[in-house]
Structure 1
Amino acid sequence: MKITYHVLLITASLATTIACKKEDAAQPVVPVQAQTVTNLPADPTTGVNPTTGQPLGTTGKYTFYNLRDNKTVANTDSASNKWDIGFRGTSVIINGGPIRSGQGGAYVYTGTFEQLTTVPTSATFAQDQTSGLAIPAVSGSGWYNYNSSTNIVTPIPGRVLVIRTGDGKYAKLEVLSYYENAPAAPVATSRSRFYTFRYVYQPDGSTKLN
């Protein structure tokens, strides 16, 4: 009777283990979802000095953003690991490098947002330095072009920012507009320094971005 009891117990245990494995295998892999952020202020101006042509009302402060939580972070937390990316005018900073507290870095990818399904193995992540930013704030070199004749900033088609976040995860981000309410054809009077962008954040630490 004891032998029979043990055989039944082992059989039941194996059946439970197999059932659990089947249940685990049946669980689908949920793809990461793209998020869209609209009208994120990036130190907007209140006007222009008619004499000097310089912007008025700017604070010089960045707007910090946490990609994992999809929310802004208080400027008082600028020295923490709570934020991943910051915006001020056309400058975009990353929470990483010798002048930051996080593990972040950035890589400018040439190609479409949809085509970028994983972080390229050849990607070299730059970090913000005192001598320059990981994402160049220069027309044609980073995410935007600037037309001096029209005074318009436009995102460069086929430029995607690959971000290593402050906590070492990965994301991809595409700037869609630099103007309030994302007008299809901004003009010189359109209110600038308001980002609309879409991004995908990978929470599991892998390099998959779809």
Structure 2
Amino acid sequence: MKIQFLTAGILLMSVFAMSSCSKDDDEPTRPTPVVTLQSKVVANVDADAGKKDLFTFYSLADGKVVPNSDSASTKWDIAFKATTIIVNGGSSGPGKGEAQVITGVYNNLVAAPETGYKSDAAATKAIAGWYSYNMTTHIITPVAGAIIVLKTASGKYAKLEVSSYYKDAPATPDLNSPGRFYSFRYVYQADGSRNFK
């Protein structure tokens, strides 16, 4: 009887020892890399399509629309109303937001410029010259090569390119195309550097 208990005990300890040792124990744990560079494509951000004279606030860090009730906070980075785009800084908000529009190829812009940024003022906004207006067709078209480079509310860098001002981004919008719906792509650098690669 004692031999049976002893044998059963040894067998049980062997099973326990084998189950506690696995292949994972032999491999060193690797830290999860921190992702600081975020790329996003956004469609149909309502820029006051209902003409209520309200901005739509957007957080580049979080990749989402921020409630209007947070307009006086640093929870948003950029906001849209019709063709006006503001940043969270200067006269538009309490953040560190500044911006400039540069001309170039979006994918080739691998670092934000060091200088040239402006904050919003009461009479002028930092983001201007991103679109053209056709007096004949009354269509608003993003300027080819116009890249918005900005410092966010927290002072981080981002680049943004508007691809359409119309709902569902039609290839050839007309007067029947619902306007005030922004489609854009952006890259947000969370580590505080100016690098976009």
Same fold (TM over 0.5): yes
Shift in alpha-carbon separation, 1:31–1:103, aligned structure 2, 3 A = closer
Residue 108 (str. 1) matches residue 95 (str. 2): no
Asked which structure has the greater CA Rg, the reply is 2
Normalising to structure 2: TM-score of the pair? 0.81
What SS is found at the alignment partner of 2:69?
A: helix
* CA distance in 1 between partners of 2:62 and 2:188 (Å): 10
**What is the match of residue 135 of structure 1?**
127
Residue 87 (str. 1) matches residue 74 (str. 2): no
**What is the match of residue 35 of structure 1?**
40
1:31 offset after TM fit, Å?
A: 7.3
Report the AA paired with residue 190 of structure 1.
S
Equivalent pairs counted in the alignment come to 169
What SS is found at the alignment partner of 2:106?
A: coil
Confirm or deny: 8 A CA contact 2:41 2:184 kept in the other structure.
yes
* CA distance in 1 between partners of 2:43 and 2:137 (Å): 24
2:112 to 111, 119, 123: 119
Report the AA paired with residue 137 of structure 2.
T
Report the AA paired with residue 77 of structure 1.
D
* CA distance in 2 between partners of 1:191 and 1:86 (Å): 19
Q: What is the percent sequence identity of the aligned residues?
A: 48
1:163 to 127, 147, 150: 150
* CA distance in 1 between partners of 2:149 and 2:104 (Å): 11
RMSD: 1.9
**What is the match of residue 8 of structure 2?**
none
What SS is found at the alignment partner of 1:145?
A: strand
Report the AA paired with residue 78 of structure 2.
I
**What is the match of residue 7 of structure 1?**
none
Deviations 1:52-90 (A, max 9, x none): xxxxxx110000000000011111111110000000000
Gaps in structure 1 of 5+ consecutive residues: 1-19, 46-57, 137-141
**What is the match of residue 151 of structure 1?**
138
Normalising to structure 1: TM-score of the pair? 0.76
1:29 offset after TM fit, Å?
A: 8.5
Deviations 1:12-64 (A, max 9, x none): xxxxxxxx9xx88xx9886724200100000004xxxxxxxxxxxx1100000
**What is the match of residue 72 of structure 1?**
65
